[in-house]
């Protein structure tokens, strides 16, 4: 009996070890399937009640909506604004929206609802003038010229130095005086704050983005690409890679990377509430699917 006890204990330890491995594997799998599950979010009870009560009117335009009005950028009557979280952002955000983008399907509205002081939405061809401030503005858009979030500061500083080096307004000045002026300009530029001040996003289907992206008013901006993030948007476009994010996902993931890579601060969920509406809708769609994977009902605004 005494000889069999160690074998029994060993087998038990191996079984426990396998059980732990299976649990960890299942946890990892669940996290991969639902990357929104560990967010630090405000209570979504107000959205749950609104979902049960159905549509209500927008207090501005009177339109019948679910959760919020996508034209006035405000919560509807049965979603008290004081119960909606407000998110403080480290920089300003401009969203250029394609005129054919369906308002009710756009997630860009979420950013305006949750960080109204920091976010502006423009409908193309209305685009702000960035030319004189292109050293402090960047555009999030994938492409061969795009850089990572980590490289933003370097390229903005390079842009400032190129602008200073390209000046030739003082050619009539004596060489020595002109050289001192150029050196002073360069030194002054190095003292300037080269931190990114504004980030621009394009809100449209991927097939419609080209018209906005090729607009000459955006051509001088530094391009930034989020290469490692994957979408969990329920309206994923066929034929497009899963790294093509919805607008609110792109905004959220950019800010998380900006916080850690540029501000060099530990991320503690400061911007998670940008996904307040998105995560709730994601769960609704997930719950609405039958075991076969087909949606049994649609989420409508």
Gap between the Cα atoms of 106 and 235, Å rounded: 10
| Residue 228 forms part of a structural domain | yes
Gap between the Cα atoms of 215 and 217, Å rounded: 5
| Residue 143 sits in the same domain as residue 261 | yes
The pLDDT tens digits of the residues spanning 64-88 come to 999 999 999 999 999 999 999 999 9
Q: What's the CATH code of the domain at 235?
A: 3.40.1280
Domain that holds residue 121: 85-160+194-288
Contacts of 268 (CB under 8 A, 6+ apart): 40
| Residue 126 sits in the same domain as residue 57 | no
pLDDT of residue 191 exceeding 50: no
| Residue 47 sits in the same domain as residue 156 | no
Burial 6-40, CB ≥16 within 10 A → b, else e: eeeeeeeeeeeeeeeeeeeeeeeeeeeeebbeebe
Cα dihedral sign, 99-241-224-85: positive
pTM of the model: 0.76
Percent of the chain past pLDDT 90, that is, above it, reads 54
What pLDDT is stored for residue 10 in this prediction? Answer: 52
| Residue 95 sits in the same domain as residue 74 | no
What pLDDT is stored for residue 125 in this prediction? Answer: 95
pLDDT of residue 21 exceeding 80: no
| Residue 75 sits in the same domain as residue 153 | no
Percent of the chain past pLDDT 70, that is, above it, reads 69
| Residue 113 forms part of a structural domain | yes
| Residue 143 sits in the same domain as residue 55 | no
What DSSP designation does 60 have? T
What pLDDT is stored for residue 260 in this prediction? Answer: 96
Confidence grade of residue 30 (pLDDT, cut at 50, 70, 90): very low
Listed range (17-21, 89-93, 94-98, 221-225) with the worst mean pLDDT: 17-21
Confidence grade of residue 218 (pLDDT, cut at 50, 70, 90): very high
Number of domains in the chain: 2
The pLDDT tens digits of the residues spanning 229-256 come to 776 755 555 555 566 688 999 999 999 9
The per-residue pLDDT of the chain, averaged, comes to: 80
| Residue 89 sits in the same domain as residue 73 | no
**pLDDT, average across residues 218-237:** 78
The pLDDT tens digits of the residues spanning 113-136 come to 999 999 999 999 999 999 889 999
| Residue 107 sits in the same domain as residue 68 | no
Q: Name which residue leads in pLDDT, 297 or 103.
A: 103
Per-residue tokens: 289: 């699917």
């Amino acid at each position: 009996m005494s000889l069999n006890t160690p074998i029994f204990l060993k087998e038990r330890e191996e079984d426990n070890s396998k059980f732990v491995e299976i649990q960890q594997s299942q946890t990892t799998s669940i996290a991969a399937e639902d990357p929104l599950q560990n967010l630090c979010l405000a209570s979504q009870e107000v959205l749950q009640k609104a979902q049960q009560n159905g549509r209500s009117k927008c207090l501005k335009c009177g339109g019948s909506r679910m959760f919020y009005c996508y034209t006035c950028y405000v919560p509807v009557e049965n979603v008290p604004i004081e119960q909606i979280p407000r998110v403080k952002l480290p920089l300003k955000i401009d969203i250029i929206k394609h005129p054919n983008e369906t308002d009710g399907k756009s997630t860009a509205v979420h950013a305006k609802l949750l960080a109204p002081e920091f976010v502006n939405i423009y409908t193309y061809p209305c685009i702000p003038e960035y030319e004189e401030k292109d050293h402090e503005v960047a555009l999030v858009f994938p492409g061969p010229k795009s850089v990572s979030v980590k490289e933003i500061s370097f390229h903005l500083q390079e842009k400032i130095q190129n602008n200073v080096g390209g000046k030739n307004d003082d050619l009539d000045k004596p060489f020595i005086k002109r050289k001192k002026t150029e050196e002073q300009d360069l030194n002054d530029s190095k003292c300037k704050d080269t931190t990114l001040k504004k980030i621009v996003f394009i809100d449209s289907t991927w097939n419609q983005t080209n018209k906005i992206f090729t607009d000459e008013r955006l051509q001088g901006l530094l391009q930034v690409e989020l290469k490692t993030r994957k979408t969990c948007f329920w309206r994923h476009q066929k034929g497009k890679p899963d790294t093509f994010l919805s607008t609110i996902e792109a905004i959220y993931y950019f800010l998380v990377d900006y916080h850690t890579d540029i501000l060099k601060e530990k991320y503690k969920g400061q911007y998670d509430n940008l996904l307040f509406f998105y995560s709730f809708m994601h769960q609704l769609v997930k719950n609405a699917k039958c075991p076969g994977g087909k949606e049994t009902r649609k989420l409508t605004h």
